[in-house]
Each structure stands twice: as structure tokens, then as C-alpha cells.
Structure 1
């Protein structure tokens, strides 16, 4: 199935470049463009894309505000599009604001074209996507929190990760902790993407975790790199 993408950026040159990159990838197509947040909301409702590729800093309604309106106030029918934020600015304030607004992922514009394509596919499939630098900073931020505020992870008196997971699952967990997407993990370990997705879900279930960020945090706490 082809993933339908709405490209949102206030610079026409950037939108054109993104369209060329996306349309050249198998299974991806750009169905429309928008130059600001208000247009993004209107075009999303009109075109009902699978993924909205959203810039952050735009005149008028920002990408963060538009994300919130698309995700939180979606008129339907059907589920709201997934929003993947794409920005030049690798700043925590933008990351946190975008995620709070309901963005499914946060990627930087200096990402390789193939990485961008993988991220769009992952976002369409409901897989959270974060730039590796963002993942590392989120882990550092959570590690600095008081113990009472940390995400729920298996207590220290439970079996070690090496006892709970297979060798292959440990390999997958290490790459999750590095911020890699399922497609990148599949390529690194010579597995199918479906196989990686299944293994990630099994890892989360076995460790009693709710998401990939918690898994990455636990891997770092356990000294896995």
C-alpha cells in the first residue's frame, strides 16, 4: 500500500526537494503541500494523508500548533494522520513541544534521504520515530530525574536482561537504544522489518515496558551500548 504524504514547510525550495526525495521512493507519494500551519490543517482535512511531514518554525500558526490541531481536533472520518516533525533545529524545547502536541516522531533535515523515507514508512505504520541525538538526550533527561519520577522498569532484584532476552533480542535492544528505526535494525542485523517489529514488541512485553524510549533507557541503565 502506498503511503500518502502531505509536505508542510514555509520554503518552496524545501517542499520541492522533499517532494523529489519522497516521490522517488517506492511505496511513497506526496499528495499535497502546505506553506504554513493553517494550510497544513486545511490540507490534512481535505486530502487525508497517512503522514504529515511537518516543519516547526513557520509564520503564523507554527508546526507545533498545527500538529496539535490535526491530532487532537481531527474531525474524521477515520483516524487522524500521523505527524512526523522535520526541522533544522535540534532543540529540546521543540522536541518536547512537538511530542506533547501529539507528533509521532521528530527528525532533522540533515537526515539522509533513505533515513527520511524509512522514517515516513515507520510513522505510517504507527512506529515512533526519533532522531538518534534526540533519543540520547531524552535518555539523559530521564536519567537525571528523581527516582520516583522515572518510568516503570523491572526492579533490580528481577533477572538480568541477559536472562530475560535471547542474544538476538539483546542485539535488537542495543540498536533500539541507539535510536535506530525498525528498518535500520533490519538492515544492520539482516532481518526482515516484520521480524524486527515482532522482536521489539516481544522485548517490550518481556520487560514490562510501554515504549521504545523506556526500552532504550533500561538498556542504558543496564550498561548495554
Structure 2
């Protein structure tokens, strides 16, 4: 059973999201929050697997709440995954939320089944980005690459670099394993090492770092 926390400042939205999640046998809402402060407190108290987090909330934004949850997590690993909900294709907070460690971005008009699939996807350690925002996010990050990206990439082995390139191309763990002849467990283990060496929280940050460094433009 995947445990879900819903954070949104509109009661109607919280109720609708709860109905969407609870209609699936493998998903269950364990708590709701009406603002960013409540989201952090409820997450620490209920330890959900996934947080469905609104961006614009009072007291603390979804970005601030995401950063606090992931940096101050008081329990054993794993930390919860965060799916950020946004009203617009490219919200002003999206870049900050990515850097804070969000694993997914969806528009609020996404279909109920797509939301459920997104929750399952991020629990597996993969990313879920709304198709309409992905390319613009990547282009924006390329325009403002973080300092030291190439230095961090030099820490990777050749095989880890192969895995990172396939992550940057949007492949899932299963697809990477099939492409490189690796088991799912091996792919996951190598991804964890990649994240640690790059200082990345998840595959979204790692993929964007690869794009920033121009790895996909280099000859193989």
C-alpha cells in the first residue's frame, strides 16, 4: 500500500484529490494539509511514501515545504517522494522545487489515472514530469547551469556515465537495464551512487545536470 499525503490550501481540491487517490486499491491517503507548515508537520508525523504538494500555499510555499521535508527528515530512509502540482505550464516556483528535490511535476488538470500512475512512478524512484513542461524546464536549466557541474561528472565511472546518459534521455530503470544488460537492482544501486557523487536528490536533478553539461551533445 502506497501512503499518500495531500497538501493544498483549497478544501475542494483536497477533497477531490483524496477521492482520486483513495479509489485505487494500492493507494491510501493518510493525511491532508492546508498550508506548507501543516504539510511539513503532517509529513513528519505520518511518514507518507508520497506527498502531492500544491505550489502556492500560505505560511510556507510548496517549494519551502519540500525543501524542509527532504533536508530535515527525522526518520530512517527512504524519504518521501514529492509530486508538485502547478496550475500553469511553467510556474515561477518550478525551478526552485526541482532543486529542492521534487520528483515530479503535474498540472492540476491532469487526469485521475495519470495522477495515480505518477504516484506509483515516483515511489519506484523514477521521475514524472508533465510532458508540456519537460522541454522548457530543460532549456531553462541549460541556460543557467549550476557551478561545478563538469567537476562533479568527472567523479563518475564510465558505466555510471552510461546510466546517467540514459536517465537524461528519459529512460526508466527497466529500460536502462535492458539497454545496458543490467538487472533492475544493479541500475538502482548505480543510480544511488550517481546521486551521491553528483549531490543530486533524485533522477530529475541528475538528468538536468547532464543536460546542463552538454553530455547529450557530445559524440559517443
* Cα distance change of structure 1 residues 144 and 59 upon mapping to structure 2, 3 Å threshold: closer
Q: Please tell me whether residue 198 in structure 1 is matched to residue 168 in structure 2.
A: no
The aligned counterpart of 2:3 is: 4
Three-state SS of the structure 2 residue aligned to 1:80 is coil
> Does the CA contact (< 8 Å) of 2:30 and 2:46 recur in 1?
yes
Name the counterpart of 2:113: 114
Ranges in structure 1 where 5+ consecutive residues have no aligned partner: 154-163, 165-172, 183-193
Q: Which structure 2 segments of 5+ residues have no match?
A: 154-161, 195-202
Distance 1:200 1:150 in 2: 26
Alignment of 1:28-107 (within 5 A): 28-107=27-106
The answer to which of 85-94 and 56-65 deviates more is 85-94
Structure number with bigger Rg: 1
For normalisation by structure 2, the TM-score amounts to 0.69
- For 2:141 and 2:62, locate their aligned partners in 1 and report how far apart those are by CA, in whole Å: 25
Look up the match of 1:131: 130
Over the aligned positions, Cα root-mean-square deviation in angstroms equals 3.6
Residues 102 and 212 (structure 1), Cα distance of their counterparts in 2 relative to 1, 3 Å cut = closer
Give 1:28 deviation, angstroms: 1.1
Deviation at 1:18, TM superposition (A): 0.6
Evaluate the alpha carbon distance shift between residue 90 and residue 77 of structure 1 in structure 2; reply closer, same or farther with a 3 A threshold.
same
Which one has more relative contact order, counting CA pairs under 8 Å at least 6 apart? 2
* Conserved 8 A contact 2:7-2:54: yes
1:30-68 Cα shifts (integer Å, max 9, x gaps): 111110011111110111000011001011111111111
TM-score by length of 1: 0.68
Q: Matched residue pairs, number?
A: 189
Q: Answer yes or no: is the 8 Å Cα contact 1:10–1:35 preserved in 2.
A: yes
Contact 1:67 1:83 in 2 (8 A): yes
Look up the SS of the partner of 1:93 in the other structure: coil
Question: Do the aligned partners of 2:142 and 2:211 also contact (CA within 8 Å) in 1?
Answer: no
In structure 1, C-alpha distance between the alignment counterparts of 2:144 and 2:45, rounded to whole Å: 42
